[in-house]
Structure 1
Amino acid sequence: MFSFFNKDPIKKLNKQYEAKLEQAMHAQRKGDIRSYSMLTAEAEKINQQMIAIEQRQTDD
């Protein structure tokens, strides 16, 4: 009924995703490849969550 009060989980995850990618970029520039790969993997997990939520929303 009041769907405009519900926060969009995709927006929240997208902000987290963008932040992880930016952190990964800075780690790569500093030469910290291990941190870069870990942050990139975390960003990929967040991206997979976003895809799963989008698929659930289209199925409904």
Structure 2
Amino acid sequence: MFGLFKKKTEKEKLQEAYAKKLSEAHKVSHVNRTQSDKLMAEAEEIAKKIESLN
């Protein structure tokens, strides 16, 4: 019950953003490879930020 109002840490926010970018990149890859590559690059930048927090 107390976890309902717990704020997400910066790392948790970044992990969600990373997963979302990967999902978007996968969906777009079937239609637009260039856009997919751009999203993958953005996901990699987020992954680097996550690593720097460790």
Q: TM-score, normalised by structure 1?
A: 0.75
1:28 maps to which residue? 29
Q: What's the % identity of the aligned pairs?
A: 27
Bigger Rg over Cα: 1
Instruction: Identify the residue that residue 53 of structure 1 maps to in structure 2.
Output: 53
Following superposition, the deviation at residue 7 of structure 1 comes to 3.5
- Residue 40 of structure 1 aligns to a residue whose secondary structure is helix
Aligned residues: 49
Q: Are 1:43 and 2:34 an aligned pair?
A: no
CA RMSD of aligned residues (A): 1.3
User: Per-residue deviation at 1:6?
Assistant: 5.8
